[in-house]
Structure 1
């Protein structure tokens, strides 16, 4: 499972039905580039990309829609994982089937049709929000000719279960520069997940001031979420501020979130 951004990410999965490992690797390397342009036409769609549940308000369930845009049937299965985010942004996905009821857990969707999947949170939520991923996995069908290689897709839908009065409180600290890189930490003292994207960030190095728009941040941050009660570490390449010249290493550094910082 791979989250480049927070939301539903499609990822091709390669299934080998008949050939040895070494030959499989060589074939994959040879065909990935040529096949890249055909993936979109063969994919399916999952909506929404992000789900928020609030059990204290009776909102403990949601519906995910899978649309089969192919000209052949689509067999899929649904699995739920807990999403654990480390300080450096690395993620671990732990099985969490006992936390949710999914219906149906498996389904075959006819060509051009859609299927609604209901997910219901049945876990016990504490004082902090929890993050999960509902993974929609295409089930490979062994009916290929030739190489025996098949490309399938996984989609991950981010699910956040929020406690009462959920709120993220983000604050920046320990900003430094070295080797052309800006490094800083973002701590979340709230009880909900915070998102570095969706807001602007401004940093000052000496007399140079650079403002990064939400779109800028989206291109720089591969994993934007900051868990409640946790601290994340971020690193960006230093940019040039037109009004002040290049931001220089060794100068005093200040970093501010223009929205979302408490």
Structure 2
């Protein structure tokens, strides 16, 4: 029974993970960077790769992110919090550039702070005569973002589930879709982090135990890979909370216990 439920759960997560993705002109890796405000971990690197057949010009910008409990983000410019080298560049086809990040903000942070390092493609001049041979040309410029979180050295997260309940909810529209998906039965989970360090809760397996709608015992295991498809990194800010809605149907109105496992 659990194996059948596991396959059904995987199918649900796979359906939610469908994306409409154009061919990108560049890659940025890693997409998640964890740093500290002092010491050797106050320096990190990301790599920009040009996968376009022509030259790729780019620049970097930094934004501070502040999350509310539903995951909505307020962004503010924060270029002054990092020293970035090089801040811009031009890559030939297939070229790579390592971009060095150094934290120059407050070395004595009270709690983790989250940022986006935005790598923005810049327009480049067309080759002479190109417009005459192929007609009018349009450039599509891409913007990729890496999540960068800076934490106090030695700080740790302290995450617990304060609420887990069965709900019927509206999933967000998939990228490129014009209509909302149908209403979904699942669970609404509130996670509270009382620690001074952020938490990436999709790094853990989640074990859910409770009763189904007929009052029978029900257990569902969710792997880190499934969670990543459903909730991304599962980021919970330091000294804050997040509400996640996940497509796990079958639980009844009774209490549901959530525990985490490596």
What's the TM-score bracket when you normalise by the shorter of the two chains?
Answer: 0.7 to 0.9
**In the TM superposition, what whole-angstrom CA distance separates every residue of 1:77-133 from its partner, at most 9, and x where no partner exists?**
010111211100112221101111112222111223222222211111422011111
CA distance 1:106–1:173, shift in 2 (3 Å) = same
Query: For residue 169 of structure 1, what is the aligned residue in structure 2?
Result: 158
Cα contact 2:60–2:118 (8 A) shared by 1: yes
Matched, 1:211 2:221: yes
CA distance 1:254–1:79, shift in 2 (3 Å) = same
Root mean square deviation, CA, Å: 2.4
Matched, 1:158 2:115: no
Query: For residue 8 of structure 2, what is the aligned residue in structure 1?
Result: none
How far residue 217 of structure 1 moved from its aligned partner, in angstroms, is 1.4
Q: Pick the aligned partner of 2:114 from 115, 131, 142.
A: 131
Q: Pick the aligned partner of 1:76 from 37, 58, 70.
A: 58
Number of equivalent positions: 216
How far residue 184 of structure 1 moved from its aligned partner, in angstroms, is 2.0
Q: Pick the aligned partner of 1:45 from 27, 39, 60.
A: 27
Query: For residue 25 of structure 1, what is the aligned residue in structure 2?
Result: none
Query: For residue 255 of structure 2, what is the aligned residue in structure 1?
Result: 253
Cα contact 1:44–1:66 (8 A) shared by 2: yes
Query: For residue 190 of structure 1, what is the aligned residue in structure 2?
Result: 195
TM-score normalised according to structure 2 size: 0.74
Cα contact 1:89–1:223 (8 A) shared by 2: no
Q: Pick the aligned partner of 1:97 from 66, 74, 79.
A: 79
Q: How far apart, in 2, do the equivalents of 1:205 and 1:237 lie?
A: 16
Q: How far apart, in 2, do the equivalents of 1:217 and 1:46 lie?
A: 22
TM-score normalised according to structure 1 size: 0.74
The structure 1 segments of at least 4 consecutive aligned residues displaced by more than 3 Å after TM superposition are 141-149
Query: For residue 12 of structure 2, what is the aligned residue in structure 1?
Result: none
Q: How far apart, in 2, do the equivalents of 1:254 and 1:141 lie?
A: 55
Counterpart secondary structure, 2:105 = coil
**In the TM superposition, what whole-angstrom CA distance separates every residue of 1:205-249 from its partner, at most 9, and x where no partner exists?**
32222221212212221451000000111112333xxxxxx433x
Cα contact 2:118–2:143 (8 A) shared by 1: yes
Cα contact 2:37–2:105 (8 A) shared by 1: no
Q: How far apart, in 1, do the equivalents of 2:92 and 2:82 lie?
A: 26
Query: For residue 102 of structure 2, what is the aligned residue in structure 1?
Result: 120
Q: How far apart, in 2, do the equivalents of 1:171 and 1:147 lie?
A: 57
Q: How far apart, in 1, do the equivalents of 2:260 and 2:162 lie?
A: 14
Q: How far apart, in 2, do the equivalents of 1:237 and 1:74 lie?
A: 40
Q: How far apart, in 1, do the equivalents of 2:95 and 2:35 lie?
A: 27
Q: How far apart, in 2, do the equivalents of 1:86 and 1:235 lie?
A: 15
Query: For residue 42 of structure 2, what is the aligned residue in structure 1?
Result: 60
Structure 2: 5+ residue runs without aligned partners?
A: 1-18, 169-184, 212-216
